[in-house]
Amino acid sequence: MRLKESFCHTRQVLAANNIDNTPLEGELLLRQTLKINRVQFYQNLEQQITPKQQDILQELLERRLKGEPAAYISGYREFYGLDFYVNNDVLIPRPETEHLVDETLSLAQKQRMPLIADIGTGCGIIAISLALNLPRAKIYATDISAPALKIARFNCYKHGVVDRIKPLNGDLLEPLPEPVDFIVSNLPYVRQSELDTRGFEPVLALDGGVDGLEKIRRLCHQVNGKLLPGGYLLLEIGQGQREAVTTLLDSLFPTADIDVKPDLIGIDRIVSMVLPQ
């Protein structure tokens, strides 16, 4: 069987089992089977798949059909045009978080040497994407999970930014050694009642408490003294959380300017606050 035929068959099996985005899912499983990158995959669609490779693919496919995410099976997920190593110690990167990176870059590019803190860094996608696009930036990356920070460090080495990102183990802003120009964070914002505790992703990276805002609320209360005058706080939020978050920030920082931007499907996604100079 040729690669392109195996690709077609894999997509059909995934679709029959109600798995979304079958072209990407099938590609990831086959790339993991053959240990090739995306360019090699599409350049070699005519190559033959050996019986041993077919057996490996079948094993991976069975894991996917049992619910294990393709990102954990393959060991990587693309974010902001980059490949990141992931495992079940970290949340799988979501496309909507790219809006948080976009907004931070649009503001930080105006500064000569921005000092940035990525809070709850997970596998490091935000910190690393910012570092690669802001070569003069210094970045702290905090996480309460030591296993997650291990993954973030690996990705820092993988992308050649280990000299400009300092991982810090601790709760939210507490590990920061100095005030920064930007606090950027994609904290857990899923309500406990909506959590799938049988899933493969770490509950710690998803659980936002009863109303989904427990960790965001605690972070906001820690901002004073950790953000420089004229500094920015940028948060990713979930659907329906805009009013609660902006009301909280307005009560804590009545002189700050607060803005909210939607994602591509119109859900309020990024809250930004700038302190007065």
Above 80 in pLDDT, residue 269? yes
What is the pLDDT confidence band of residue 140, given thresholds at 50, 70 and 90? Answer: very high
- Residue 79 falls within a domain, yes or no? no
Predicted pLDDT at 6: 95
Predicted pLDDT at 193: 85
Above 80 in pLDDT, residue 197? no
**Residues 174 and 258 reside in one and the same domain:** yes
What is the pLDDT confidence band of residue 251, given thresholds at 50, 70 and 90? Answer: very high
Predicted pLDDT at 93: 95
- Tell me the residue range of the domain where 64 lies: 3-74
Above 80 in pLDDT, residue 191? yes
**Residues 152 and 258 reside in one and the same domain:** yes
- Out of 40, 74, 108, pick the residue that ends a domain: 74
**Residues 200 and 263 reside in one and the same domain:** yes
**Residues 150 and 183 reside in one and the same domain:** yes
**Residues 266 and 130 reside in one and the same domain:** yes
Q: Label each residue of the chain as H, E or C.
A: CEHHHHHHHHHHHHHHCCCCCHHHHHHHHHHHHHCCCHHHHHHCCCCECCHHHHHHHHHHHHHHHCCCCHHHHHCEEEECCEEEECCCCCCCCCCCHHHHHHHHHHHHCCCCCCEEEEECCCCCHHHHHHHHHCCCCEEEEEECCHHHHHHHHHHHHHCCCCCCEEEEECCCCCCCCCCEEEEEECCCCECHHHCCCCCCCCHHHCECCCCCCHHHHHHHHHCCCCEEEEEEEEEECCCCCHHHHHHHHHHHCCCCEEEEEECCCCCEEEEEEECCC
For 43-55, how does the pLDDT look when each residue is reduced to its tens digit (9 = 90+)?
999 999 999 999 9
What is the pLDDT confidence band of residue 255, given thresholds at 50, 70 and 90? Answer: very high
What is the pLDDT confidence band of residue 97, given thresholds at 50, 70 and 90? Answer: very high
Predicted pLDDT at 199: 80
Predicted pLDDT at 9: 95
**Residues 47 and 181 reside in one and the same domain:** no
Q: How many domains does the chain have?
A: 2
- Residue 89 falls within a domain, yes or no? no
Find the CATH number of the domain harbouring 59. 1.10.8.10
**Residues 36 and 108 reside in one and the same domain:** no
- Out of 39, 74, 109, pick the residue that ends a domain: 74
Find the CATH number of the domain harbouring 257. 3.40.50.150
- Out of 74, 105, 120, pick the residue that ends a domain: 74
**Residues 12 and 142 reside in one and the same domain:** no
**Residues 189 and 231 reside in one and the same domain:** yes
Greatest Cα-to-Cα distance within the chain, rounded to the nearest angstrom: 67
What is the pLDDT confidence band of residue 194, given thresholds at 50, 70 and 90? Answer: confident
**Residues 143 and 236 reside in one and the same domain:** yes
**Residues 172 and 47 reside in one and the same domain:** no
- Residue 83 falls within a domain, yes or no? no
**Residues 51 and 150 reside in one and the same domain:** no
Q: Tell me what the pLDDT averaged over the chain comes to.
A: 95
- Residue 234 falls within a domain, yes or no? yes
Above 80 in pLDDT, residue 198? no
Percentage, residues of the chain above pLDDT 90:
90
